[in-house]
Every structure is written in structure tokens, then in C-alpha cells.
Amino acid sequence: MKDLRDKIVVITGAGSGIGRSLATVCADRGARLALCDVNEDGLAETRAACQPAAVFTSKVDVADRAAFEAFRDAVVDEYGGADLVINNAGVAHSQTIADTRYDDFEWIMGINFWGVVHGTKAFLPILKQRPGSALVNVSSVFGLISVPTQGTYNATKFAVRGFTEALRHETRGQDPHVMCVHPGGIKTGIAHAARFYVGPDGNSNQAQAAGNFVDKLARTSPDEAARTILSDLARRKGRCLIGTDAKIISAISRLVPVHYWSIMSRVMN
């Protein structure tokens, strides 16, 4: 999808980070936007940043299937369909698997995986009727490798990757074009909004430290990420790697698929 002028673009998690940057870039290119997020204040800020483009917004918990389908219906009522859907909403969680609570598993799976499923299933029949349409699902470099204390996050992002790649094979040669995105370190607030633990009892100081550590590793801005996603989509790529770190991690995972952590752990230390 090279030309976004007058295209109807749906973006989840549009209240901040990559989602907001995608919205503003698409608005600058003449798209009409349908944006959702659970953060109404953030969504309002994104809407203001996209003016004077046509923007429809709705507070939606992507983990709630009925709510997402209601959002889909509202988008169809507002615009008559959709040309590009970007399932971007996501959250983070850090804890050893042994100490992870079941409610944390359910929370992160609901947003990161089921949110993608809901967005895909809700809009896929519509996208199939739109020539040149596209579907983009956001995974992570942690959908390419697994690291300690990221078991739940890894599980969701590997699931998004597998789900999206299967759909890409199923729709080959048809509409919509399907792409999976694997961002590396992006300067967003996801780490500071994450659920971080160091033991059975949470430690807020550890959470803040972890968020600051992720900020130091992040080398790519959300605007750069958005431009990369749209550039790779225009080239009809199936996999989008964002940032030099993502490209390096992808290469390491292919070269040493079993022992990559022996290399990665030294780099992280």
C-alpha cells in the first residue's frame, strides 16, 4: 500500500508510542483514521495531533471481543469500511515463569494476543472486499528470541508471529496483504507502564529501574518506527524489522537458534 490518500486506516493502541506516530504519519499522508485505545486522554491528544485529518476515536479494550466488534461496526458506520488495519496495542510484563501469577498470564495474553486475534477476525472479511488492502500485526524482537523473565511477553509475541505468518500464507496472492512487525528498542512508555516484579511481592523501585534500563537500550523513535512500518508495507514485505538491534537479533536467532542467549546475555550485561 503505497498511497494512503483517502484510505481508511484503523490503528489500535493509538493513544501513545508507535500507535500515535502511525496515526500522525498516516494523517499527514491524507488517510482517514479510526483510532482506539483504553487511554482516553492519550487518544484525545493523538486526535489533536492528527488535525485536520478525518479522525474517529473510541475507547476500546482490545481484549474484549464484544467491545472490539462494536468498534468495528462503528468504523463501518462512520466510513463504510477499512483499507488498512494495524493491530498495535500491547503491554509488557516481567517475572520469572515460576513466580508469574495466572492473572498476569491472562492479562497480557488478553491484550497482546487476543487483541490481535480480535482485530484480525473483526476486520478480515471487510479487508477481503477492499482491493489493495493490508493487515499489519505488531509482534516484537521478543517474538524472535526468548529471554529470562520475559516468558509471558515472549509467549504473546511468538503467538502473534505464528498467527500472522499463518494468515500471510493463507492469503498469499489475495487481499489483504499481511505483514508482521518486529520492533527492537523503541522509545515508548511501554516499559514504565508494564507489570514488573522481582519476587512474590512487587517492588516499585525495581519497576522504575527496569523501565529506565529499557529506555537506555531503546535507540529508535516511534516516528522512525512508524515510517519504517509504512515503508516496508509499501514494498509489500511480509516481515518488518525495526532498528539495527532488531536486525542483529534476527540474524543471531537464525545463526545460533539454540544457543543465542549465550551471546545475548553478554551483550546485555
79 in active site = no
Give me the helices (H) in the chain, please.
17-28, 40-49, 65-79, 102-108, 114-127, 151-170, 204-217, 222-234, 244-255, 260-268
CA–CA gap between residue 232 and residue 239 (Å, rounded): 8
Q: Which amino acid is at 161?
A: R
Measuring CA to CA, which residue among 145, 34, 44 is closest to residue 87? 34
Residue 12 contacts residue 89 (beta carbons within 8 Å): yes
Residue 59 contacts residue 47 (beta carbons within 8 Å): no
> Quick one: cell of 240?
518488518
> Quick one: cell of 172?
498469499
Terminal CA-to-CA distance of the chain, rounded, Å?
41
Report helix, strand or coil for 238.
coil
Q: Which of 79, 102, 153, 197 is catalytic?
A: 153
CA–CA gap between residue 45 and residue 41 (Å, rounded): 6
Q: Which residues are catalytic?
A: 153
